[in-house]
């Protein structure tokens, strides 16, 4: 069984009680992160993203309304995601002042993270891998509707490693967002991430080895 993760971050048995029965068959490949991003063409102090955007409007609006409460933040980039309802996107775009840029999608998203002081986002697997590879401080607001626990568990583990600050989705407001951003901005520099982010190559190596051992 190939587990696309790092056991120093999360182990299969944390969420799969029968893992001990197949321990000898478990291989941790590392997190499947993208390659380190190139230097950004433009830089923003804070990059706010909402994944696909279907359920991220409250997060983006809270960040937009928190901006006036924060001194020393010169520029913001709000990436709403392609699936945000048009009415929500239009309202956010109309309310954004000159120092807040709003986009549905950025092909250079990973590069923007590398140049930012802080990422504000949910805690999906791909987003977290982008953040770790970019070595960007992060504020995570894990998606928790409908009893979902995956993102909350991921966010709490990152916070435990000192790699993120967490704000619960149910607690989102402009004031709480502003305070959480302040807390996240003083996290230790994230340039010394010791997690294995080379999961794609790790998977390939394991498959080659298993093939050779047939």
Per-residue pLDDT of 63-122, as tens digits, reads 999 999 999 999 999 999 999 999 999 999 999 999 999 999 999 999 999 999 999 999
Average pLDDT over residues 16-31: 92
Split at pLDDT 50, 70, 90, the class of 52 is confident
Strands 138-140 and 76-79: unpaired
* Long-range Cβ contacts of 174-178 (<8 Å, 24+ apart): 174/62, 174/65, 174/66, 174/69, 175/66, 175/69, 176/62, 177/62, 177/63, 177/65, 177/66, 177/120, 178/66, 178/69, 178/70
Half-sphere exposure of 128 (CA within 13 A, CB side): 29
15 pLDDT more than 90: no
Strands 76-79 and 165-166: unpaired
What pLDDT score does 22 carry?
93
Split at pLDDT 50, 70, 90, the class of 53 is confident
What pLDDT score does 91 carry?
97
What pLDDT score does 146 carry?
85
Split at pLDDT 50, 70, 90, the class of 191 is confident
The SS3 assignment for 5 reads: coil
131 pLDDT more than 90: yes
Distance from C-alpha of 27 to C-alpha of 25, rounded to nearest angstrom? 7
The SS3 assignment for 47 reads: strand
**Are 174 and 65 a contacting pair, CB within 8 Å?**
yes
193 pLDDT more than 80: no
Please spell the DSSP secondary structure of 71-124, one letter per residue: TT---EEEE--TTS-HHHHHHHHHH--TTEEEES--TTHHHHHHH-SEEEE---
Residues in a beta bridge with 138: 119
Q: Does domain 46-191 have CATH number 3.20.20.450?
A: no
What are the domain boundaries of the chain? Answer: 2-31+197-212, 46-191
Helix (H) or strand (E) holding 204: helix 199-212
- pTM score, two decimals? 0.92
Both tokens of residue 154?
A: 């991921």
Per-residue pLDDT of 139-188, as tens digits, reads 999 998 888 899 999 999 999 999 999 999 999 999 999 999 999 999 98
């Amino acid at each position: 069984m190939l587990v696309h993760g790092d056991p120093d971050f999360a182990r299969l048995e944390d969420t799969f009680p029968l893992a001990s029965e197949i321990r000898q068959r478990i291989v941790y490949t590392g997190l499947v992160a993208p390659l380190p991003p190139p230097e950004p063409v433009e830089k923003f102090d804070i990059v706010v993203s909402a994944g696909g955007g279907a359920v991220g409007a409250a997060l983006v609006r809270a960040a937009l309304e928190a901006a006036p409460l924060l001194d020393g933040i010169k520029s913001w980039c709000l990436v709403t995601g392609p699936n945000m309802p048009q009415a929500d996107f239009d309202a956010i775009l109309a309310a954004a002042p000159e120092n807040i840029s709003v986009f549905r999608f950025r092909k250079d998203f990973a590069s923007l993270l590398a140049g930012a002081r802080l990422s504000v986002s949910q805690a999906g697997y791909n987003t977290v891998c982008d953040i770790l590879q970019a070595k960007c401080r992060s504020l995570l607001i894990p998606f928790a509707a409908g009893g979902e626990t995956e993102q909350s568990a991921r966010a709490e583990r990152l916070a435990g490693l000192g790699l993120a600050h967490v704000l619960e989705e149910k607690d989102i407001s402009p004031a709480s967002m502003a305070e959480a951003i302040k807390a996240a901005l003083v996290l230790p520099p994230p340039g010394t991430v010791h997690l294995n982010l080379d999961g794609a190559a790790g998977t390939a190596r394991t498959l080659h080895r298993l093939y050779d051992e047939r």
